[in-house]
Chains A and B, each alone.
Chain A
Amino acid sequence: MKHTTMKKMIALALATIMLVALCACGGGSSEPEAGASAEAFKLGGTGPLTGGAAIYGNAAKNGAQIAVDEINAMGGIQFELKYEDDAHDAEKAVNAYNALKDWGMQLSLGSVTSAPANATSAEGFADRIFSLTPSASAPTVIEGKDNMFQMCFLDYPTQGGASAQYISDMQLGEKIGIIWKNDEDYSTGLRNSFVDKAEELGLTIVAESTFTEDNNDFSVQLTEMQNAGADLVFLPMYYQPASLIFAQANAMGYAPKWFGVDGMDGILTMEGFDPTLAEGVMLLTPFNADSTDEATQAFVAKYQELYNEIPNQFAADAYDCIYAYKQALEAAGATPDMSAEELNDLMIQQFTSMTFDGLTGTGMTWDATGAVSKSAHGMVIQDGAYVGLD
């Protein structure tokens, strides 16, 4: 009896020691951030650093970090960047936003994904903290909020329409099929705007099929497409389900033209995915990691060196966000001792009047609603690389 009690006490003590040790580790790594100089602008953002959408949050965080390191090394304007995890959840995003506010955030990078961004943008609007989100593309993020701006190309509802327009202009397909995820706002938003535009343009949609979270078998959807004789299938979804669709369509010998969206960016670097399956997939995206221009090449090389993967559009958007902030802050003559509210007014002025060149586009401008205007490029995957369609 005595022995078992002893054992339990020892186990308890060891567990406590482990906990304390872990706390010490964690505490140690966060110290340098807290002790930074007051000469830097405090930039904060929330994104899914854990959970199912972690790939996007981490890409944005890494992209932004590269830009911050580059700018800090140049001298001049200094940034201090802090990303908090929101696990792609509105409630946690608001908590993360509040934690950043306690930290003293002056400028915000909003949230990476749309649903959390809806929640944090309302908070930022009420608190008068300016925000430029790299990738939250829902129109509701900026709607009615004068200090919320977006870096991502085309709101997804517009992107669906642009895709339909592109297909119609290029006469890519006669009979169109759509597979979409009906429990996700991103996919549903794209599908709705695509269908609206397709009707307007007189495109024929022969089949539509849906799936939900955690669906790994697409044989039903694909058979439906095949039976309807669809020669082009529109896939408004992120790349994980798309990779399964390509593999399963290949296995059943169904090979229509595939048309994707910007969320499919990253499919070529996905672990365990055979890039030949995505051969011939078309998509509209603002960022091309294989582009030959110097800035993109440098960014891709740096990203690969630090994080050992090819950056996707989220990383590029976040990288652009930081440089856009730099340009705006320099033009406004802002200093780090300004309050978030003062910076807010300056940034609204600057962003609505400036023109910005970045990795994801040149000659970008913002209108008063906070939406960015930049063009989308049609891309097609050839020999495992993105090639311009035009």
Chain B
Amino acid sequence: MKKKTLNRNTRKNFATYGLVIAAYAVLQTMTVTGSITSSLKGMLVPICAYVVMAVSLNLTVGVLGELSLGHAGFMSVGAFTGVTAAMALQNAIPSPALRLLIGMAVGAVFAAVAGVLIGIPVLRLKGDYLAIVTLAFGEIIKSIINNLYVGVDENGLQLSLLTNKLALAEGGKIIINGPMGITTIEKISTFTAGFLLVMLTLFIVFNLVNSRSGRAIMAIRDNRIAAESVGVNIVKYRLMAFVTSAAMAGAAGTLFAMNYSTIIANKFDFNTSILVLVFVVLGGLGNMLGSIIAAAALTILPEALRQFADYRMLIYAIVLILVMLITNNPVLKGYLDIIKGKLTGRAKKPAGPTPEGGAENGK
């Protein structure tokens, strides 16, 4: 029985990899042959960034079972630190791909540090404290960056808070300019980089979930007291999942920011955090493939609805409600299971808890 579950998991993981690779291959072919619309082409990198955001938040919400309402805060930390690093190294490293890689690594590290700082006190507590603290964290980060001035000259990076007191040497340039954010970003994010980041994120998440640590994390989610009683180090494993999630969000932030010539702190507000949470909830808690599809679909949807002009946000809302209705409709669910059963050649008990469904039943 146990072997069978593992197999199904592995199969699903490979199906997820396969789908992402197939989507990349199709879109890349379309880009090369020029049959893609500018509108879709412009959305490829943001979609990758949102997919990484959704998958990483799913690790916190679905696998760890903790609510985070400030995931955009980590994205913000990653975006601003990553872009600053890439811009500061503009002259030192000529290769844009390498600079992007370093930017994403720096973004991931800073977001991880922020994750550790929040996680150490909060993850020791029981209850919904993480949701409250991450909510505050998102707002604090927004406020700090709105008052932060960073410049670079031949002497290196210079920082100033509240007002612009930077005294840059000749040839120096200002990078983060308070509420104006970063305005002179060189666009070096590419769809290929986004694709690789998505693959890396999936690889990390799948391997973490299927490892001994992953089982410990899920054990904590399902029953904290039981897990504690068999000697699982609660704080360590919760921190592990949370910090991994934060680091990936940081890398996604850098990818996202490097796709636009400008980025402001107010972009990563509470609404963005909730948007990512919507991707996760709509795709299914703990279901990475669902998160990927939801993130891509909900990023494209508002753009696809542009032709409806003023009705667009209304239709967007109706679609969201419909998806919720349909996926929770027992009749349709029954049909879906029959189709699934026919496709995979095995009948599945409709009410049986799947490994992914555990999150919903767990808490």
Q: Do A and B bind each other?
A: yes
Residue positions of A touching B, CB distance < 8 A: 5, 8-9, 11-12, 15-16, 18-19, 22-23, 25-27, 29-30, 49-50, 84-85, 89-92, 94-99, 101-102, 115, 118-119, 121-123, 138, 140, 182-185, 187-189, 192, 212-213
Q: Is the CB of A94 within 8 A of B308?
A: no
How many whole Å from B280's CB to the nearest CB in chain A? 20
Residue on A nearest B269 in the bound complex, by CB? A213
Q: Say yes or no: is B343 at the interface (Cβ < 8 Å to chain A).
A: no
Q: Say yes or no: is B184 at the interface (Cβ < 8 Å to chain A).
A: yes
Q: Which of A29, A95, A212 sits near B309, CB closer than 8 Å?
A: A29
Q: Is the CB of B306 within 8 A of A99?
A: yes
| Residues of chain A with a CB closer than 8 A to B312's CB | 26, 85
Q: In the complex, which residues 16-49 of chain B have their Cβ closer than 8 Å to any Cβ of chain A?
A: 37-39, 41-43, 46
25 A-B Cβ contacts within 8 A?
A8-B325, A12-B325, A12-B329, A22-B308, A22-B318, A23-B308, A89-B267, A90-B262, A91-B267, A95-B39, A95-B303, A98-B39, A98-B43, A102-B38, A115-B264, A118-B183, A122-B260, A122-B262, A140-B184, A182-B178, A183-B142, A183-B179, A184-B179, A185-B178, A185-B179
Residue on A nearest B329 in the bound complex, by CB? A8
Q: Is the CB of B311 within 8 A of A90?
A: no
Q: Which of B39, B318, B319 sits near A99, CB closer than 8 Å?
A: B39
Q: Say yes or no: is B339 at the interface (Cβ < 8 Å to chain A).
A: no
Q: Is the CB of A182 within 8 A of B37?
A: no
State the total of A-B contacts with C-beta under 8 angstroms. Answer: 128
**CA of A115 to CA of B307, assembled, Å:** 24
Q: Is the CB of A188 within 8 A of B179?
A: yes
| Residues of chain B with a CB closer than 8 A to A50's CB | 313
How many whole Å from B18's CB to the nearest CB in chain A? 28
Instruction: Name B's interface SS.
Output: helix
Q: Is the CB of A5 within 8 A of B331?
A: yes
User: Knowing A101-B38, A138-B180, A184-B179 touch, does A26 contact B147 (C-beta < 8 A)?
Assistant: no
Q: Say yes or no: is B315 at the interface (Cβ < 8 Å to chain A).
A: yes
| Residues of chain B with a CB closer than 8 A to A185's CB | 178-181, 264
Residue positions of B touching A, CB distance < 8 A: 37-39, 41-43, 46, 142-143, 146-147, 163-164, 178-181, 183-184, 187, 260-267, 302-303, 306-315, 318-319, 321-322, 325-326, 329-331
The 3 A-B pairs with the shortest beta carbon distances in the complex, nearest first, are A26-B308, A122-B261, A118-B262
**CA of A15 to CA of B324, assembled, Å:** 12
Q: Is the CB of B39 within 8 A of A30?
A: no
| Residues of chain B with a CB closer than 8 A to A91's CB | 46, 260, 267
Q: Which of B37, B266, B319 sits near A183, CB closer than 8 Å?
A: B266
Residue on A nearest B318 in the bound complex, by CB? A19
**CA of A121 to CA of B318, assembled, Å:** 33
Q: Is the CB of A23 within 8 A of B143?
A: no
User: Knowing A8-B331, A119-B260 touch, does A99 contact B303 (C-beta < 8 A)?
Assistant: yes
Q: Is the CB of B308 within 8 A of A188?
A: no
**CA of A325 to CA of B301, assembled, Å:** 34
How many whole Å from A187's CB to the nearest CB in chain B? 8
**CA of A14 to CA of B303, assembled, Å:** 25
| Residues of chain B with a CB closer than 8 A to A90's CB | 260, 262-264, 267
Q: Is the CB of B313 within 8 A of A30?
A: no
**CA of A115 to CA of B325, assembled, Å:** 37
How many whole Å from A321's CB to the nearest CB in chain B? 21
| Residues of chain B with a CB closer than 8 A to A118's CB | 183, 261-262
| Residues of chain A with a CB closer than 8 A to B326's CB | 12
| Residues of chain B with a CB closer than 8 A to A99's CB | 38-39, 303, 306
| Residues of chain B with a CB closer than 8 A to A98's CB | 37-39, 41-43
**CA of A19 to CA of B323, assembled, Å:** 13
**CA of A243 to CA of B142, assembled, Å:** 26
**CA of A233 to CA of B207, assembled, Å:** 60
How many whole Å from B187's CB to the nearest CB in chain A? 7
**CA of A18 to CA of B311, assembled, Å:** 12
**CA of A192 to CA of B181, assembled, Å:** 15
